[in-house]
Chains A and B, each alone.
Chain A
Amino acid sequence: MAHKTINIKLRVWRQKDAKSKGGFEKYELENISVDSSFLEMIDVLNEKLISENKEPVAYDHDCREGICGMCSLFINGRAHGPDNLITTCQLHMRKFSDGETITIEPWRVGSFPIIKDLMVDRTAYEKIMQAGGFVSVATGGVPDANSILIPKDDAEEAMDAAACIGCGACVATCKNSSAMLFVAAKVSQLALLPQGKIEASRRAKNMIAKMDELGFGNCSNTGACEMECPKGISLAHIARLNREFLVAGLKA
């Protein structure tokens, strides 16, 4: 079956490494199937660049099904591009029109330095998780799973928060480069569950301290993060985080 195709113009951020100055390069592609994913379109671009003996565009991606959180492109001014509740790898070319110019940039966040072209370094997220994104339980010696009862609604809400893929779209979208939605998702998930409740305020305190230390900005409750989150993580989790943080302050 003949597939519908479009021609597009691209403005892609190219940057040799963290220290070099970057800039936009222009490219044109013809006959891109609208059923292709956005990253398959970049594959076509790269194949073309390789055939011209030029360096392909470096970008992060892995699972290509919207769950690993590795892909991280800012497309036409929006994190993960012009569709809602998806990652870049789930974006399809049918969202673009024939002749359109598409601008592709990396996340622009001080705490996520650019590595090369469209790749950024999200080690800061790792450090926040290491500061408290867990229940302090070791393998073995835990009770039977059904001895911890959890109301269905709480489990569902915890799952909503736990759906975070750690991509960084919220930080990239926030005008203050705040990581509050990311931190809130983990704090909220675990605070909602009895097994995580015990160290909830300690967790909130430690994760927020690490977040501040790593240079992420403050939350001004604008809600842009929620709008661009590919997993629809709600701003309400930030309220729960603030509550746990407040409790930690009262205890101190």
Chain B
Amino acid sequence: MAKLDSKVPEGKLKDKWSNYKAHQNLVNPANKRKIDVIVVGTGLAGGAAAASLAEMGFKVKNFCYQDSPRRAHSIAAQGGINAAKNYPNDGDTIYRLFYDTIKGGDYRSRESNVYRLAEVSNEIIDQAVAQGVPFAREYSGYLANRSFGGALVSRTFYARGQTGQQLLLGAYSALSRQIGLGNIEMHNRSELMDIVVIDGKARGIVTRNLLTGEIKSHFGHAVVLATGGYGNVFYLSTNAMGSNGSAIWKAYKKGAFFANPSFIQIHPTCIPRHGEFQSKLTLMSESLRNDGRIWVPKKKEDAEAIRAGKMRPEDIPDEDRDFYLERRYPAFGNLVPRDVASRAGKERTDNGFGIEKNSTGEGVYLDFKYAIDRLGKDVIEARYGNLFQMYEKITDENPYKTPMRIYPAIHYNMGGLWVDYELQSTIPGLFVAGEANFSDHGANRLGASALMQGLADGYFVLPYTIQNYLAYEITNPRMNPEEHPEFKKTEDEVKAHITKLMSVNGNKSVDYYHRELGKIVWEHIGMSRNEKGLKEAIKLIKKMKKEFWANVHIPGNTDTVNPELEKANRVADFIEIAELMALDALNRNESCGGHLRTEYTTEEGEAMRRDDEYMYVSAWEYKGDDKDPQLNKEPLHYEEIEVKTRNYKTA
């Protein structure tokens, strides 16, 4: 078994990051100009990293598949970003944010990384404000805060329901400035097709121009992947249509270990699906749980009447409503973490209390009546107006008058490429930031922590740690990809892969396979899992992979805009990622965070962790297309935290 060196610095938890920075290698200004860094992705992590590295003096090449870096899907994050500022004086500290994040992740994340995340959280808010991010303010002119799940303090900063947009546009403005100054070479509408590894080090990437189909190599002294999550394995998710796992999957096949692939987040509050042509799901921010109360009918006959369209939720009196989160988790109530809220909703709907008028019979209510009675409609509108408008446009229902119907949906991947303390993968020179890595959220991510982690990695962690690697690269001159056989070889492999896809010439569309894959993973690797289902999933996925490669149909040509080819390339990888997810979920004979194995639950229906056997990170190593991947384990140690059973019932 390969040894995983997490490179956690010595010393006390609270001193590790300062000690690291005090002793790490740096690159002097004259040498920075001679160093090329490739950054793939322009979301919070990628955009912030590219801008910061360019400001420092490195030559950056930045890539995105969209027509502009500003479109990256970080833009869709709604509710907020956490920081341990303690501005409201409610007792927050860096330690408390760290503790909440470790506990929220069900003790499956790396202690040192999470502490550093909490430590730099405050700097992120300072940086965003300096850029002109218009966070919400009090009448005094000071910054406002609100609450999110899994915390007893108000530590979330927000810009209406568009916090991700504003933070991303902040990073984008810094990025634009550096592009204008000539420090960043920006490649829009470019898709990463493979990573180039030379003498064991990441040395560049091969891309496909999505307008011309041109396959091109790019050299970098180091490569940063900030390409987000692979939630679209499920077909329906809250991800953007183009969000994909291909970059990290190609890296996995080149030797980067894939950690905890089965750790996915199912968000409890999304707008329910309407029919079979549904293309994606829309999230309703967790911030709504500050003022919305979640309930289902107490009486089964009421639920049945609602599903049959014979009764409306407004007809049910308070005493016949089951506010099940408040009932089961008095301390945190409607603000329990996402995995707990999703599961509790599933428990109610599985038992026949769901409210959706369709075959699933799922769905619960998120009701603002009580907050409107208490605070007035104007206050609620000021807080959530854009979210309510979004809901009304999609469902044609007015949430000020009738409760929102909500349903869980795939939202985020805690799993991702394995990285050490420096955010370096198992391929030297290949760094991974943001959702694409695995390190900070364990088995469940708390709300408003994705923005925090993306920007922490991008602004304040990676631009430092990467220098500890680049300091040894200053004597290596830039390579000319056209003269190096390894670039040529990788390009040829990419071209062969595309030719293979195009030449299948079958009779089923890419979307057909993607939808089918989505059904398999949702049923077997979704909100609850068990050994039998996971084994079945692996069988079905293997079968689907064969069928896809025998029968997929991609119209059009390779040398022009061809969205079907783009999708086919991504779906081919999603199929393989799905198999690894199933394998990982099967290996983990316990329940933790978002990973619920039905064989391992308590009598009360709560997740049953098995720390004695599974307190480790699963890091999967690719061994070839026809071979099973090898499992490597990084044991998790908690020095500053007492590992407990998660409890949201009492404080």
Contact = CB atoms under 8 A, between A and B. Distances in A.
B173 A134 contact: yes
Interface in B178-196: 179-180, 186, 188
A124 B504 CA distance: 39
A246 interface: no
Contacts of B142: 146, 149
Nearest to B166: A162
Nearest to B123: A140
B318 interface: no
B141 A65 contact: no
Nearest to A91: B393
A63 B240 contact: yes
Contacts of B357: 1
A65 B564 contact: no
Contacts of B68: 69, 122, 125-126, 166
Given A139-B459, A145-B125, A195-B130, A159 B174 contact: no
Contacts of B555: 49-50, 53-56
A55 B127 CA distance: 47
A90 B386 CA distance: 13
Given A70-B71, A139-B51, A159-B159, A145 B390 contact: no
Interface string A127-164: 00111011111111011111011111001101100110
A152 B275 contact: no
Q: What are the 5 A-B residue pairs with the smallest beta carbon separation, nearest first?
A: A149-B141, A130-B180, A134-B173, A142-B130, A35-B274
B134 interface: yes
Interface in B424-468: 459-460, 463
Given A68-B72, A142-B129, A144-B126, 11 more contacts: A36-B274, A55-B556, A58-B561, A66-B390, A68-B75, A94-B396, A130-B179, A135-B130, A142-B127, A155-B135, A158-B134
Contacts of A126: 68, 176, 179, 186, 188
Contacts of A47: 509, 511
A166 B242 CA distance: 18
B406 to A, nearest CB: 15
B358 interface: yes
B69 to A, nearest CB: 8
Contacts of B159: 159, 162
Given A92-B394, A143-B126, A193 B132 contact: yes
Interface string B386-404: 0001100110100000000
Contact of A37 (B51, B177, B279, B561): B279
Contacts of B85: 145-146
Contacts of A56: 555-556, 563-564
A142 B127 CA distance: 6
A43 interface: yes
Contact of A58 (B123, B390, B563): B563
B560 interface: yes
B156 interface: no
A182 B242 CA distance: 25
B389 A85 contact: yes
A139 B75 contact: no
B560 A116 contact: yes
B293 interface: no
A107 B560 CA distance: 20
Contact of B174 (A119, A123, A139): A139
Contacts of A65: 76, 280, 282-283, 390
Given A43-B277, A69-B70, A155 B136 contact: yes
B28 to A, nearest CB: 18
Residue of B67, B389, B396, B509 with most chain A CB atoms under a 10 A cut-off: B67
B107 to A, nearest CB: 31
Interface in B118-177: 123, 125-143, 159-160, 162, 165-166, 169, 172-174, 176-177
Contacts of B72: 68
A72 B165 CA distance: 18
Interface string B534-572: 000000000000000000010110001101100000000
B211 interface: yes
B160 A62 contact: no
A79 B571 CA distance: 32
Contacts of B282: 64-65
B472 interface: no
23 contacts: A33-B275, A37-B279, A39-B279, A56-B556, A69-B68, A70-B67, A90-B394, A116-B560, A121-B67, A134-B173, A134-B174, A139-B55, A142-B127, A143-B126, A145-B125, A150-B141, A151-B137, A155-B134, A162-B134, A165-B165, A166-B68, A189-B132, A193-B134
Interface of A: 1, 3, 17, 33, 35-37, 39-40, 43-44, 47, 49-51, 53-56, 58, 60-70, 83, 85-86, 90, 92, 94, 115-116, 119, 121-123, 125-126, 129-131, 133-140, 142-146, 148-152, 155-156, 158-159, 162-163, 165-166, 189-190, 193, 195-196
Contact of A33 (B240, B274, B279): B274
Contact of B176 (A70, A130, A156): A130
B306 interface: no
A47 B510 CA distance: 9
A17 B283 CA distance: 36
Interface in B369-420: 389-390, 393-394, 396
A166 B137 CA distance: 25
Given A37-B279, A64-B279, A139 B126 contact: no
Nearest to B356: A1
A135 B358 CA distance: 50
B71 A68 contact: yes
A179 B396 CA distance: 33
A130 B137 CA distance: 29
A145 B240 contact: no
A182 to B, nearest CB: 12
B211 A152 contact: no
Contacts of B274: 3, 33, 35-36
B143 A70 contact: no
Nearest to A49: B555
B91 interface: no
Contact of A135 (B125, B135, B173, B463): B173
B385 to A, nearest CB: 11
A163 B160 CA distance: 10
A137 B543 CA distance: 53
A62 B511 contact: no
A49 to B, nearest CB: 8
B169 A63 contact: no
B650 interface: no
B475 interface: no
A63 B75 contact: yes
A8 to B, nearest CB: 14
A122 B18 CA distance: 43
Contacts of B141: 149-152
A150 B137 contact: yes
